[in-house]
Every structure is written in C-alpha cells, then in structure tokens.
Chains A and B, each alone.
Chain A
Amino acid sequence: MLLTLFLAVLLALTLVGYFLGQKRALGAVRGDQAKRSFTTNNFGLAALPVFYGQRLAYLVFLPPFLLLLLWWLVEPRLASFLIDWNLPEAVRQASRGEQVGIINAIREAAAGRAALPSTDLKAAVDALSALSWFSSVGLYLLLSGLIVLLFALGLASSKPGFKARHAVETWNRWVMFGAASVAILITVGIVLSLLFQALSFFQAYSWFDFLTGTRWSPGGAFQRGYGEEATGGVFGVVPLMTGTLLIVVIAMSVAVPVGLLSAIYLGEYASNRVRVFAKPLMEILAGIPTVVYGLFAALTFTPWVASFVDGLSAVLNWPVLRPIALFVANVFVALGNGFIWLGNLFSASSPTYFAWVETIVLETGSDIALAAGVVMGTMIIPFVASLSDDAIQAVPNSLREGAIGMGSTRAEMMIRVVLPAALPGIAGGILLAVSRAIGETMIVVMAAGSFAYLTLNPFGSVSTFTVQINSLLTGDLDFGGTKVQAAFAIGIFLFLITLVLNTLALAIVRRFREEYD
C-alpha cells in the first residue's frame, strides 16, 4: 500500500521536477535581461530549457528508485539471514523439518498474526519485526528525506551557466550502459545460480559417481521428505548421455540431409514459383512452438512409428532375412554387453547383461526414441536449411562460374566445388543445430521416456537431460532438496555442453567468413 503511494508520489515529483527545472532555469535568466547574449542562446542559458527539466527529473527519480529496487531485492535474503543469525543453538541442531516449522512460526509472530512461540525465540522475532518496520515505514521516511534533499540540490544548481545537456547525456549514457550490462548480469545470474545449487548437490553426491554412474533413478515421490532425500536417489548420468545422444543422432540424421538438400535446391535450382511455396513452408516449420511438435510426436507420430516397427518386424522374420537379422541383432547385443562392462569399470552399480537374441521381435513401448528424434529433426530442418543457405550463398560466384566454365554439370559444381568451399560454414551450422537439439525440451518431455534406460536401441524408450530436469523440478520446489539440486547439476552440464558447441560453431563460421570477405 505504502509502496504504491510512494511510487505514485515519486512519479508525480519527477514530473514536477521536469517542469520546475525548466521554469527555474528560465526564471533565472528572465530576471536578469542583461545576461542575455547573442552567443549562447535565446535565453542566455547554457542548454535548452528542456534539459534542465530532464536533469532535475533524473536527479529526483533515479537514486530513490534504484535504492528502492535494491532494497526490494535484498530484503527477503536479509530476513532469512536475520532469522538464521538469531536462532538459538537448540533449534539449529533440530532436523530440517522442525526448523522450517519454527521459522514459519517466527515469521507469523513477527507479522503480528500469532503469539510469541517461546521466549528464546524473542531475539529473532524482534529482529524480524524491526526489519519489517523499516521496510514498511522507515525506508520510505529515509527515501522521502533523500528526495527532498535531491530536489533542493537540483533546484539550487539549475543556474543559467550550468551545462544541463551534458549532465543529462551523461545520465543517459549510464542508463544505456546499465541496459547493455543486463546481458552480463543474466549470464552471471545463470552461472551463479547453477553453480550454487550444483555445488550443494556435489557435497551430497560424488561428482565421479554422477559422471560415470550407469543408473539414473532419482527416487519416486514417496521418497520426498526431509532427511530421506540424501539417500533416496541414484544419480548417474551415463544413461541420460546415451539417451540424449541417441535422440540427437536420429534428429540430425533427419535434419541435416533434408535441411541441406532443401537449401541447395532452393538456392540453386528452384524456380521462383517453387520458392514462393517453399520459403513459407520453412518459416512455418520454424515458427511452430515446440510444445506443438511435442504433442504431435506423442499422440500422432509415435503410433505411426509403432505400426511401422511392427511391419519391420514382420519383414525381418522372412526366411531369407532372418539369419542376417539375427546376426546383426546379436552383434548389437555383444556391443551392448561390452558397453555395460565398460561402464562397470568406473562404477560400482550392479551389472545387467542382455541375453542373446533368438527371435526377431522389435518391441516398442509407449515411448519410442525414433519418433521423438524424427519429430525433433523436423523441427530443426529450417534451422539447418537457413544456416547452410547462408554458408552456400557466402561462396563467391567466381568459384561457381569457374566450375561451370570448366564444363562441369550443375550437380558436379555443387558437390565438388561449392559444398567443399561452404563446408566449414555448414559444419558450424550443424554444430549449432546439435546444441539446439540437446537443449530442446518439450518434444522429449512429451514423447520420450521418463525412465532412463541405458540403451542405444532407436525403437526403445530413452530419457534425456532435459526430460529429467523437467521431472525433477515439476511439483514442489524444495531448493534445499537433493532432487532439485540434481536438476541444477544437469543444468550446468547442459549449459557447458551448449556453450562449448556454440563457441566452437561461431569460431568456425567466423573463420570461414574471413576467408572470402
């Protein structure tokens, strides 16, 4: 309530300052006509009157507003800190559940909604009520004083010789610099918040087991409760890595050929009439939200793939193909066993071995990695197409003309001359697309599995980093719990992977551009 009033008064005073500053500057010269000179300006001021107004408005508005914002951001932290500081030793020894209850009681008592729970909590309650008095009354008194001071200062200095435009432009530059620095602030915020939570996670869970563990099982909802969480889950990211890898590989094997070939066709072959249809096609594909792709993948495309896989099963069981299929399947089983064995070198989790395949039955469940991957690939097609198009267009025409002049066909020119020249740009684009596929969330949340099987079977169900972040964070946000912290640990993993891929891709693209520009 007081906040709204204060903000209204602040805005009104700013407006008053804007007009008063102009008036004051003009008044100062009108009273003294002798000071008018031809060289300064019509009024004998060092700047247009409007700048005097702007400067006073800045002076009145910005410092109190920034202080208020700062206080608003700091206050909740300060409150928890004050409670922590004043907690009696006995409470500090208590379990987390009890502590939360006591802290809530203190907050209630300080707000006057409940009686003092016990006398040894008096210090905390007093500190908290002092803080809330300050942030509801004291702060505004202080800021009001500051405003009056600034107003007086500003009016006093609004003299004709004062270079108001310089002052305003300096303020402007700082505000603009502040706006530009928001980008740094956001990055710092991301890194700090991820690090903070991830570090608490790695205090409870070994980073070595996290990186090399072959079992991911964060524990069901029934395990959520204070104290039990630390022992509740097993967090090994290897199955998530293989799952993400599988889906990304499927997605890229759809997106790269389709995107690249469409870009080549649209750039080099297509008539204008085709282009009129094809350009919007790509733009629509790029503009559809991922949640829409996700719904399509889960409800429509997965059943299609399932029936396709059933058909494939039948084909593989034809007498001619059967022995070949069995051989290939068992090679995969052997590889899979070897993979698990390798995993066990680093981790103590119990070994699971696949049995040899005797009949060819391609099983599918409700989630199929192939379906999620193909739909994700479709989503990335326009991304790959536009980046490859940029790379292909950047190849100088002299190379094309040279190739055609030597008598090559159009396809030979593309395959042997233009594509090799554009390859670094295309590779950079593909890296960017991979990074996007790794970070993509909604398609896999809706169409890939939630259980992290360690498999590379495209017809099977796998889980990815993003799916697990989603399932760990949905529901109650208990930032002290291991499960939420585990989500941040994956988050920092994801952030680093995409950061490296992007930096690499941008470096490749930039170097390639320099070659021809």
Chain B
Amino acid sequence: MVQIIDPKYKVADYQAQVMRRRRAKSRRFQAMGIAALAAAGLMLAALLSSIFYNGVQGLFEERMTVEVTFDPAKIDPKGTGDLAVMRKFNFDTLVYPVLYEALDIKVKGRSDRDKRRKVKQLIGLGASNQLRTMIVQEVGRDPVSDEPVLVSGGTQLGDTVTVELTALSTASNPYAQPLRDLGILKTRFNGDFFTGVNSNDPGYYGILDALVGSFWTLLVCFLASFPVAVLAAVYLEEFAPRNAITDFIEVNINNLAAVPSIVFGLMGAFVFIYVFGMPGGTALVGGLVLSLLTLPTIIVAARAAIRSVPGSFREAALGLGASRQQAMWSFVLPYAMPGIITGTIIGLAGALGETAPLLFIGMVGFQSGVPATPLEGTPSLAVGIYNAFGSQFDELKNQLSNSTIIVLLFLLMLLNGTAAYLRYRSEKSK
C-alpha cells in the first residue's frame, strides 16, 4: 500500500503520530469496557438502593392511638342488647369524631366534606374489625341453623378504651402530619410483617405464610428432583450405553434447561391439576413444577461432580474386587457429594425466586393462614412480592413488596453462601 506522507513530517514523526493514534484507540476501547462495567454496576446500585430505600420503610409502620367510646346510642340504638345487631354496625364511625375533634374539622356540613373524606381514608381496613371483636366475637357456626354463634368480646357498651389501630396511606395524606404532631400517629417496628399472614390491609400484612409456603415448596421440589437427578446423572455418566436412547435423553436434558419457565407452568397446570386432579395452589404442585425446572440444573452439576472424581478412586475399588456399581455407590458418589449438593443448592435458590409458573397453578395466596402441610393452599415468597405489587395501597405496593424482597434476597444470599462455602471446603480438602 502506498502511503502519502506529508513532506513536512519526518518519517519518525509520522510513525509516532500513528502510534499515538493507535494507542489512543486502544485506551478508548479499554475505557468502553470500564464504562460497560460501570453501567452494569450503576443499574445494580439503582436496583439495590431502590429495594432497600423502600423496603426498610416497610419494616416500620404508623399506628393510630385513639380513645374510642363505644357509644350505645350508635351501636345499639334500640337498646336490644342483641349481639347480631351490634355486629352489623360500622365501627369505623366511632373513630371519625375523635379524629375530627383532634384536627378541628366540623362533624357536619358541606364546608368540611372533602376534609372529612381525606381523614376517613387514613383509617386502616382492619380497624373496624378490630373494634368489633372488642364488642362481639364469632366463635363458630351453629350446626343446625348455620347461624354464627356470637359471644361478647369483653368490652361493655359505653366504655371508653384507648386502642391502637392500623393506618393507611400516611405518606400521601395531608392530615397525617398534624396527627403525628398531636401524637395520635406513632411509628413503630412492623412486627406483623414477620408474624402475620397475607392481608389486604398493609397494617396487618405479613409474610409468615409465604415463608412457610416457600419452605414446603422447596422441600417438595428437593424430594422430587434430587434423587431422580442424582440417579440420572450416575446413569448417564457411568452406566449408560452409547446408543440412540442415551443420546435422546442427553438432547432432552439440554433442551429442558433452556425451556422458558412459563412453559413449565403451563405444562404443570395442565398435567398435575387437570389430568391428575391434584389440588391446585398447594405447595405439593408448586414443588413438583419447580422440580421440573431444577432437575436439569442438578443433573448437569451432578455429572460434572462425578466426572471430576479422580479415576484412581474407581480403579482402586475395582482392583479390590468391587463391582462397578459397588465402586460407584461406596466410593465415587460419596466423594462427589459436596459438588452435587452445591449444584442442588444453586438449583433450589433459582426455584426460590421463580414466580411465573406458580401463578398458573393457583399459588396466588387468596388463602389466609400458615400452611401446616404441603397439601394446603399457600403463596410463596416470590408470589407474595407479585401479589403485594398488585395492591392498591401504597404501603403494600411500594414498601412491603420491597421488604419481602429484602427477606428473599437474604435467603438467597444464605443459600448461595452455603453453596460457596461447601465448594470452598471441598476444594480445600482435595
């Protein structure tokens, strides 16, 4: 190639200039790499700070401390003393006058109507029920008439009691700050979040059922996938003949690892619920669906672990007269176990965060109560996040969903940390 060189440059100058340009280009390329890493880091930082900023707020909640008078003229105007009548009363209306008085809002009349509406929105969804149970409680149903059996809640009509009620949307309500100044709204640690079950009322919302549901789901998933995966890995690695069936199995495992999880959800809904008639929305079906997802992961990890066992182990056992299976069960597999367990934990960590397939099999968390067995309907932690996101209340949608994420991320860290520790320990011992 003919180079046209400007005569006013000497050749050495020209070369230096070209080299400068090439080196600058190289630096630019390197800078692009740094920029790419920084972009990824920035997104992660944004993600984590968003989660923690909102999530930590969800760990604290505001409660409303008010002095409520159970006015007999309102609750039981005719003085019948009938618990069924009292039960129908809207107990929220007992709280309104207390708040109006504190905020200096007129109880009647057009002028303050909007203000009253705003103040009413502050009272939590469960407040009415909380007050009702102080007056009247349902202890069961009459077997003959199917009427609810009612007993007194212990508080008498006419009593004045100081109660702590849940509050709603305190972040956006203009009357929250005045109430805070008056000492009616107080911030406290949200203990219900860890001990309660899912609820529409952010004040009562908790993740205990989702935690237990996730536990049952993972247990079923582990029991269904671990033995099958280990046996399959042993077979494919050591005993499978090289033939068309084995090849077909291998192709299937590779493909299954890449099938979108939503397709497993579709298949699970159809096969487990429709064809086999299993109870939908339970940890049993959820765990089985997730086991389809973890199976390829564990098989691949187990095969790698078995492959990495030194050949001398096998040969020593065979040399002492063991059969191939005896060598496998007694020497190779125990030696490969830490690796297999590491792979299993990583697979289970993936299953813990999986959401979409669980939605289709009905794990939507409309049930309330902590599931005692895998046969009860339950949400999982990840589904709980999605459900909280669907709420109309800011506290649940923005904050408690992120608090649940913090718990989920903590569990994932725990699982992955255990896996990393096991890997480290087995590498050290080798």
Q: Which A residues form the contact surface with B (CB < 8 A)? A: 72-73, 76-77, 165, 169, 172-173, 175-184, 186-187, 189-190, 193-194, 196-197, 257-262, 264-266, 269-270, 274, 278, 281-282, 284-285, 287-296, 298-301, 378, 381, 409-412, 414-415, 432, 435-436, 438-442, 445-446, 466, 469-470, 473-474, 477, 479, 487-488, 491, 494-495, 498-499, 502-503, 506
- B84 CB within 8 Å of chain A: no
Nearest chain B residue, comparing its CB with the CB of A73: B276
Interface size on B, residues (CB 8 A): 89
Shortest CB-to-CB span from A481 to chain B, Å, is 12
Nearest chain A residue, comparing its CB with the CB of B354: A289
**Contact among B39, B256, B261 with A186 in the assembled complex (CB-CB below 8 Å):** B256
Q: A182-B295, A183-B232, A281-B40 are in contact. Are A288 and B47 (CB under 8 A)?
A: yes
Cross-chain contact A479 with B30 (CB below 8 angstroms): no
CA A196 to CA B274, docked complex, whole Å: 12
Q: A179-B235, A409-B25 are in contact. Are A290 and B256 (CB under 8 A)?
A: no
Nearest chain B residue, comparing its CB with the CB of A442: B355
Shortest CB-to-CB span from A499 to chain B, Å, is 7
Q: A176-B232, A409-B25, A441-B260 are in contact. Are A183 and B253 (CB under 8 A)?
A: yes
Cross-chain contact A194 with B249 (CB below 8 angstroms): no
Shortest CB-to-CB span from A422 to chain B, Å, is 15
CA A191 to CA B43, docked complex, whole Å: 38
Nearest chain B residue, comparing its CB with the CB of A495: B263
Which of B246, B266, B299, B355 has the most C-beta atoms of chain A within 10 angstroms of its own C-beta? B266
**Contact among B29, B292, B360, B405 with A473 in the assembled complex (CB-CB below 8 Å):** B360
CA A438 to CA B37, docked complex, whole Å: 24
CA A87 to CA B253, docked complex, whole Å: 43
CA A436 to CA B387, docked complex, whole Å: 24
CA A179 to CA B226, docked complex, whole Å: 10
Shortest CB-to-CB span from B229 to chain A, Å, is 8
Task: List 19 contacting pairs A-B, 8 Å CB cutoff, sorted by A.
Answer: A180-B246, A182-B295, A190-B267, A193-B271, A197-B270, A288-B409, A289-B382, A290-B356, A291-B385, A299-B401, A410-B29, A410-B30, A411-B29, A412-B25, A439-B260, A441-B356, A442-B356, A487-B266, A506-B254
Cross-chain contact B262 with A466 (CB below 8 angstroms): yes
Shortest CB-to-CB span from A213 to chain B, Å, is 21
- B177 CB within 8 Å of chain A: no
Nearest chain B residue, comparing its CB with the CB of A191: B267
Cross-chain contact A190 with B259 (CB below 8 angstroms): yes
Which residues of chain B have C-beta atoms less than 8 A from A436's C-beta?
A: 258, 260
Nearest chain B residue, comparing its CB with the CB of A491: B266
**A-facing residues in B1-47 (Cβ within 8 Å):** 22-23, 25-26, 28-30, 32-37, 39-41, 43-44, 46-47
Nearest chain A residue, comparing its CB with the CB of B41: A281
Which residues of chain A have C-beta atoms less than 8 A from B280's C-beta?
A: 477
Cross-chain contact B239 with A173 (CB below 8 angstroms): yes
Shortest CB-to-CB span from A178 to chain B, Å, is 8
- B389 CB within 8 Å of chain A: yes
Which residues of chain A have C-beta atoms less than 8 A from B260's C-beta?
A: 435-436, 438-441, 466, 494-495, 498
Cross-chain contact A300 with B50 (CB below 8 angstroms): yes
Shortest CB-to-CB span from B345 to chain A, Å, is 12
Cross-chain contact A165 with B323 (CB below 8 angstroms): yes
Cross-chain contact B249 with A494 (CB below 8 angstroms): no
Nearest 6 pairs of A and B residues by beta carbon: A439-B260, A289-B353, A265-B33, A261-B36, A179-B231, A76-B277
Nearest chain B residue, comparing its CB with the CB of A79: B277
- B111 CB within 8 Å of chain A: no
Which residues of chain B have C-beta atoms less than 8 A from A258's C-beta?
A: 36, 39-40
Cross-chain contact B33 with A193 (CB below 8 angstroms): no
Which residues of chain B have C-beta atoms less than 8 A from A466's C-beta?
A: 260, 262, 356
Cross-chain contact B252 with A298 (CB below 8 angstroms): no
Which residues of chain A have C-beta atoms less than 8 A from B262's C-beta?
A: 439, 441, 466, 469-470, 491, 494
Shortest CB-to-CB span from B100 to chain A, Å, is 34
Cross-chain contact A291 with B382 (CB below 8 angstroms): yes
